[in-house]
Amino acid sequence: MVQDASVLASILARRLKRAGLFISTAESCTGGMVASALTDIQGASKWFRQGWITYSNETKTVQLGVPEELFEDDVATGAVSPEVAEAMARGAAKESNSEVAIGVTGIAGPTGATENKEVGLVWVGIYVDGEVITKSAEFGQGDRHSNKEAFTTFALRVAIEAWDEIREDEEEELVVEVEDVKEPTIPEALKQLSNGEKDEEWSDDVAWSEGDEEPEVEVPAIPESDIAWDNEE
């Protein structure tokens, strides 16, 4: 897992632990990489509840309650769509009794493209406290594995953005520095998530502080990708 995903996962984990909330994941094209990034963090059982890899349309319906009609040939949605990403996120939250959930569906390639959907397209649905935000990106470069990594990083980034947008009561301040990102281990300071240390400085890459005003968040860029964004709220 690339370092950017590790940093984003650590930011999301810190927020979940502080808020006392649980997260679950429902993945298709990423094959469990989002859940892996989150559970790489020591003490994840305190805020991570469950993950699904629903690769087929049938399992999306049976296990997550995604409406079967979204997959029918005569509709414009299909498996890679905002409607399915939202339904996956809602289903994961409901089935696991989690306050936060991530749904990911896309085309990792090299096959699977359609007339209207190219390889590298991903839709992410983020459920937070009963609301869902969906966003998409297109990664035109890269093979299957690099697309899966890019999808994972994108999903975690969108989760943080959705948290900021929906949970307006969030008071913590954070600054993410990415100038000297090193490959590829999770920062040692992430162990604080499990042992309860109160140091404000996590590592050279991530620093936290408390305050009344929240500064702008500089989130690590997704490497080696040309991204076209789309939003549905």
Q: Where are the domains of the chain?
A: 3-171
Which of 79, 168, 167, 158 is CA-nearest to residue 125? 158
Full pLDDT tens readout for the chain, 233 residues: 445 999 999 999 999 999 999 999 999 999 999 999 999 999 999 999 999 999 999 999 999 999 999 998 666 789 999 999 999 999 999 999 999 999 999 999 988 888 788 999 999 999 999 999 999 999 977 799 999 999 999 999 999 999 999 987 544 444 443 333 343 344 444 444 445 444 333 333 333 434 444 444 455 455 444 445 555 54
- The fourth-level CATH superfamily of domain 3-171 is CinA-like (3.90.950.20)
194 burial level (CB within 10 Å; 0-12, 13-18, 19+) = middle
